[in-house]
Structure 1
């Protein structure tokens, strides 16, 4: 695992140099994706039986933070594409075989908002519709799409599932023109009446109960963690990484900056700047330390075969949205303290600021939902949310 992290750190200067080009292209280059793959990054959460490393989630998240500190768009794509290898490990074995049997380096993108139409048919489902924000889809040959199966005529309740489709069943429409995370290529996925067999679907209710079909072939502790814990941290960690990159860029810039309004006074000598950078550093550290502690506790418990207590699962989601909030606050403070020259196109601070705010609007970062769940748990009220 150390070799993967070492490879990522060796790659950071290149990713940093490519950051503006990545933004201008609106998609990661094939060279960048190839370089990430060569470090072993995409195999970190992949089952060992398909050439994966089944690494501790913190190894994966540490790598994501490092990547995002060099280029926000690259960190975002790496995280969301990389975490899909973990999710596929929860699917029935035949679905895993479909994707990895002939090529264990196959990648998947996703779009989970249930915006399409799902119709139950014999042996599976018919899927039609448009799904947005599929980050990294140009570098994937399968996609994971969210969909709701309507209530059955037999009285069975509606079910929210993930549907796995090969690239032959969908098209990609280039619609990604945004102010932030411009390099992620998060385009639309369009599906027209594709058949998805039952075995290529996974219920979110099963992921919430931590009882999924893939655990039979992948019995390791990594695959016993709730989906909401892994996926939510795969969204917050790149934002912590962006805040880290903004902090590094700000400190380097401020050491050399002379404030024009104070006739030759170095910005680094301004006590107000010193306070602001300390506050930003504290927020970033708080976000990351809470994430680390929670993920270690989750893994320790599942490794010991202990059932995960609901208060811990609720705390994970609480600290996840708070981690995003703290990171955004840090980036804002650093941007505000950087002066007018930070507005120039190509400067890292304004790119990190835009990228972090773009990541913040992901649905998993909505604080009210996660904080309300935590409050309900504290007050002993019932919980009916699969994203915990």
Structure 2
């Protein structure tokens, strides 16, 4: 880690006096990062999944990092998980982003188990810890509007649908997803459930051919006439409206996901500064503007974590986290653009690593809430209007 990154990374890791011989997960990420950095360029070039890096995460015990210790996990809280992802992203953005999709689901389930007495989540969390089960998120496919179709049949539902942006699909064990059920009266609800990726009614289609974050292999997962038993439905909600569970998910998940983009921007800054030190014509004002943009992204991300620390997910916390998400994205993207400019022509060469980070950082634009809906949500909040259907 650079001196710069060290000065800007608060020590948010929980003290672990009962395990003095065990690395915390941030230190572990620092140790493992160089291995992942060595693979990142080839994975990006070949447009394949970061499978070796995910195997390392599993072998080293990071899969269960966010599971409470009482349930057999690592007991890492959200600030430590965010810092872990931020560190991993400095070496391989794709590994960190794909892993954030598992991590945020574990962290959300752990938070609900601890703070909302959601005991139905305990078996899943225990499985993650004991078996190192990897959870997949269907991400933007299953945002507030929902996707896919569920038909009511005896004992459950028949579900079909295409789940886009399923990061790390080939490494996952359970897809946490949903489908829309239209009732006889015309009302629409969304049922939520887990899908074993080994099911014969589930397949991965290789659709991920993208500008950046290539190693996430965020391919489509297709559900084809999959039976979901009534007992397997975790909860249901109105389609197209915010639900308290989604307020919790949004509040907890996005500080973790955007820790990745912050780490990408920080690594771009360090590369550019190293290059610029060897260029007599380098413009100090560019370096200053770069650090100013990066500091804004860091402060916005710290705000997101401050909101999580309130332990009170609501429409208010969604608004504050999403403001932070937009600011992290805006300033991180600007920082990487300035890093390219500061490094000059050297940044155009793939070997320098800057152009990959330039491509990877663009992904920060596309997670919910994107710029338009986020501004609408913030504006509606400011004016005292309903945000129930703003997403």
Please give the range of the TM-score, normalised by the shorter of the 2 chains.
Answer: 0.7 to 0.9
SS in 2 for 1:52: coil
Distance change >3 Å, CA 49–CA 236, structure 1 → 2: same
**Cα distance per residue 1:118-160 (max 9 Å; x no partner):** 222333321112222211111111112242222x2256x4223
Quote the Cα distance in structure 1 between the aligned partners of 2:50 and 2:174.
19
What TM-score do the two structures reach when normalised by structure 2?
Answer: 0.81
Matched with 2:385 is 381
Distance 2:254 2:304 in 1: 12
Match of 2:96, SS? helix
What is the CA deviation profile of residues 184-208 of structure 1, one whole-angstrom value per residue up to 9, with x for unaligned ones? 1111111111112233434467996
**1:176 aligns with one of 208, 232, 235:** 208
Residue 46 (str. 1) matches residue 67 (str. 2): yes
The verdict on how the C-alpha distance between 1:101 and 1:70 changes in structure 2, with shifts beyond 3 A counting, is closer
Alignment correspondent of 2:197: 167
Note closer, same or farther for the CA distance 1:47–1:128 as it changes in structure 2 (3 Å cut).
Answer: farther
CA contact (8 A) 1:100 1:106 kept: no
| Contact 2:248–2:313 (8 Å) recurs in 1 | no
Using the alignment, how far apart are the partners of 1:204 and 1:240 within structure 2?
Answer: 33
Question: Does the 8 A contact of 1:291 with 1:319 survive in 2?
Answer: yes
8 Å contact 2:108–2:252 — kept in the other structure? Answer: no
> 1:247 is matched with which residue?
269
Aligned to 2:306: 296
Which residue of 361, 376, 391 maps to 1:356?
361
Match of 2:252?
230
User: Deviations for 1:13-45, whole angstroms, at most 9, x for unmatched residues?
Assistant: 222222102213433444311322344332232
C-alpha distance in 1 between matches for 2:135 and 2:48: 16
> Quick check: 1:123–1:197 contact (8 Å CA) kept in 2?
yes
Counterpart secondary structure, 1:40: coil
Equivalent residue of 1:382, what SS?
A: coil
- 1:337 counterpart SS class: helix
Call closer, same or farther: CA 1:137–1:196 in 2, change over 3 Å: same
Corresponding position of 1:187: 219
In the alignment, which of 137, 148, 162 is matched to residue 116 of structure 1?
148
Provide TM-score, normalisation by structure 1.
0.82
Instruction: Show the counterpart of 2:103.
Output: 82
Supply the distance in 2 between the matched residues of 1:203 and 1:45 (Cα, whole angstroms). 25
1:310-361 CA-partner distances (Å, limit 9, x unpaired): 444312211111211111111112113322232123331000000111x134
> 3-state DSSP class of the match of 1:46?
coil
Cα deviation code 1:211-257 (max 9, x no counterpart)? 69xxxxxxxxxxxx711112222332211111111111111111123
Secondary structure of residue in 2 paired with 1:364: coil
Change (3 A) 1:205 1:337: farther
Deviation at 1:210, TM superposition (A): 4.2
Is residue 85–residue 260 contact of structure 2 (8 Å, CA) maintained in 1? yes
User: Any gaps of 5 or more consecutive residues in structure 2?
Assistant: 1-13, 15-22
Structure 1 stretches lacking a partner, 5+ long: 213-224, 258-265
Question: Which of 171, 174, 178 in structure 2 is aligned with 1:139?
Answer: 171
- In the alignment of these two chains, the number of paired residues is 355
- CA 1:148–1:363 in structure 2 vs 1: closer, same or farther (change >3 Å)? farther
Q: Distance in 1 between matches of 2:338 and 2:178?
A: 36
Distance in 1, matches of 2:72 and 2:325, equals 30
Shift of 1:48: 3.6
Alignment of 1:324-335 (within 5 A): 324-335=329-340
1:201 matched to 2:234: yes
Partner SS state of residue 73, structure 2: coil
Match of 2:34 in 1: 13
* Matches of 1:38 and 1:208, distance apart in 2: 37
Structure 2 match to 1:69: 90
CA-based RMSD of the aligned residues comes to: 2.8
Partner of 1:322: 327
